[in-house]
Structure 1
Amino acid sequence: MVADKFLEIDVERINIVDKQGKLKMSLFESEHMPDPFLDGKSFPDVRQGTPASGIMFYNQEGDECGGLIFGSEKDDNGDYESSLSLTFDQYKQDQILQMSTYEKNGIRNYGFSIYDRPNIPLSETIEKYQELQKQEESVEKQKAISETFEGHNQRAFFGKSQNGEVAVCLMDSKGKDRIRMVIDVNDVPRMEFLNEKGEVVYKLPPE
């Protein structure tokens, strides 16, 4: 079969599928971002209103397994936000590797992050969270939501913060900073060790 050839094509979404019709990759503009798809289920409204275009990746089982998204918004006053994110997901879970940028009115941060994810399928976590969202607000509800997302923690970051510091941050299993290596805006380096409460217990150079 001879494929049609186009020099240029305008389209709002393209789905790349295998011979069995299973989705392998989706290229989309912001109004046609695909819903998360895991374990044969689609989860509408999870990304509702996200102003981003990009590419979504899918594995052999049809599960979403990462993607590249980018977008920006600017209001009538000239205030703007711009972001980009490239992620790679743990099997049946959310991203464990991410390269990202975020900027708002000239203040920006960007870098590379790694995450811990539990072995519980993300589809189960989303379903539980959506059920909890239907409940009336209460302390018990917020506690249950926190428990639902246990094990979803950032473990490391390398990049530049909004205050202009370049840093390497290492977090514990609860996502709390424990080691920070920093070069501040005045090009002064420092290294900090923190306890589980976020208190600096040792610092180089010493104060």
Structure 2
Amino acid sequence: MSETAIEALDVARAAYEKATEALRMAEAAARSSGVEVAPTVVDELTVKRINVVEDDGTLRVVLGNSTMGRTAPMRGRLVQHPGRNETAGLLFVNDEGTECGALTFAGFRSDSGKEQIGFLTFDDYEQNEGFRFGMHQEGSVVQRWLEFADLPDWSLVDMIEEMEGLDDEAAQEVQERHLAGHSGLGASRMRLARESDGSVRLVLRDARGQDRLRFVVPADGEPRVEILDVDGVPRSLLPD
């Protein structure tokens, strides 16, 4: 884009902002005078992305198509997110401009079969998903689950900011240093799921993420209860 076009765009944006503010002030004055101002009703909107922001411009909610997954809000700016699948939906952002949860969906049919996914997630502060509710279908194999985890209190944002601009080897060293100096990426504590093998399970885990108690109904319908020791070895089984 040429400098002339950029300048014209900046002028147009400034004019739009002033016009919008003038309209807001006029409507506020009318309401204070007792005049009822009807909201503008639009029958249909076609958009790729909607950003909901605070009065100061801080991003709070994103409603977007599958390109939404390419970036993640972090402390008021958008950062490339190479590890995320391209899913459409809602992205929630905390008061400081950092992602804190999402509701996303995707589905398609390819030469290898059909696939469908959906997730509702809640993040700990500047951390990963502490609570997940989701499903994943790949062909005839389906998983559906409710899961929560204990997460460390160090900041993923700090780590990602430190990795920016580094080559792969240097970035890997930063990541390993963060993981080594803290309690890893967290531990799943409870999972209630319809697993890919057709079983339904409730698994309770200790702070290390080790299975300690399992309630299992396999696909054949014969239920069992497993109590495990600290090393994950079953010490009690019902039925025996």
Category of TM-score, reference length = shorter chain? 0.7 to 0.9
Deviation (angstroms), 1:16: 1.0
Identify the structure with bigger relative contact order (alpha carbons < 8 Å, sequence gap 6+): 1
The one-character-per-residue Cα deviations of 1:43-99 (angstroms, maximum 9, x if unpaired) are 203345x23100011122222110101102321x25122110001111222221110
Q: Select the structure that is richer in helix.
A: 2
Compute the RMSD of aligned alpha carbons. 2.8
Alignment-mate amino acid for residue 104 of structure 1: E
Instruction: Find the partner of 2:158 among 124, 128, 136.
Output: 124
Aligned to 1:188: 222
**Mapped pair 1:64 → 2:64:** no
Distance in 2 between the 1:199 and 1:192 partners? 10
Aligned to 2:144: 110
Q: Which is richer in strand? A: 1
What TM-score, normalized by structure 2, do the two folds share?
A: 0.74
2:113 corresponds in structure 1 to: 79
Distance 1:91 1:45 in 2: 18
Q: Which moved more, 1:107-116 or 1:92-101?
A: 92-101
AA in 1 matched with 2:192: F
How many Å separate the matches in 2 of 1:146 and 1:121?
11
Change over 3 Å in CA distance of 1:3–1:37 after alignment to 2: same
Distance 1:171 1:66 in 2: 24
8 Å contact from structure 1 (residues 161, 167) kept in 2: yes
Q: What is the alpha-carbon distance in structure 2 between the residues aligned to residue 30 and residue 118 of structure 1?
A: 29
Please name the residue that 2:126 is paired with.
92
Say which one has the larger Rg: 2
Distance 1:112 1:27, change over 3 A: same
Question: 1:39, CA displacement in angstroms?
Answer: 2.9
- 1:1-207 correspondence runs (5 A): 1=27, 3-33=39-69, 35-47=71-83, 50-75=85-110, 77=111, 79-127=113-161, 134-135=168-169, 144=177, 147=180, 150-206=184-240
CA distance in 1, matches of 2:163, 2:184: 12
Q: Structure 1: state its 5+ residue gaps.
A: none
